[in-house]
Amino acid sequence: MEEKKIGEITHYFDNISVGIIKLTDGSIGIGDKIHIKGATTDFEQEIESLQIEHDDVEGAETGEEVGTKVEKRVRGGDEVYKIIE
């Protein structure tokens, strides 16, 4: 199992458990598995929904900011890795 850094968390909406991921190197899509890692964050999850500017999307590319539901609290600056199996 390999991991590739694809971006980082820029914001977290506590009330709706949504993290905003700024994609700096890679793409992300529904069904992908990601690993979010930071000073106090470390968990893996599957992407079940993605939104750009409140619109549902199937995927996002480098340079875009995308929101996704997260299973645990994340923080700005947490690194996001795509898990390649």
Output the pLDDT for position 1: 87
CATH architecture of structural domain 2-84: Beta Barrel (2.40)
CA angle 79, 13, 69 (to 5 degrees): 70
Domain ranges of the chain: 2-84
Nearest-angstrom CA–CA distance, 81 and 62: 13
Percent of the chain with pLDDT over 90: 98
Residue 32 has pLDDT above 90, yes or no: yes
Per residue in 35-65, pLDDT (tens digit) is 999 999 999 999 999 999 999 999 999 999 9
Nearest-angstrom CA–CA distance, 23 and 63: 5
Query: Quick one: average pLDDT of 6-20?
Result: 98
> Taking the model in full, what pTM does it have?
0.96
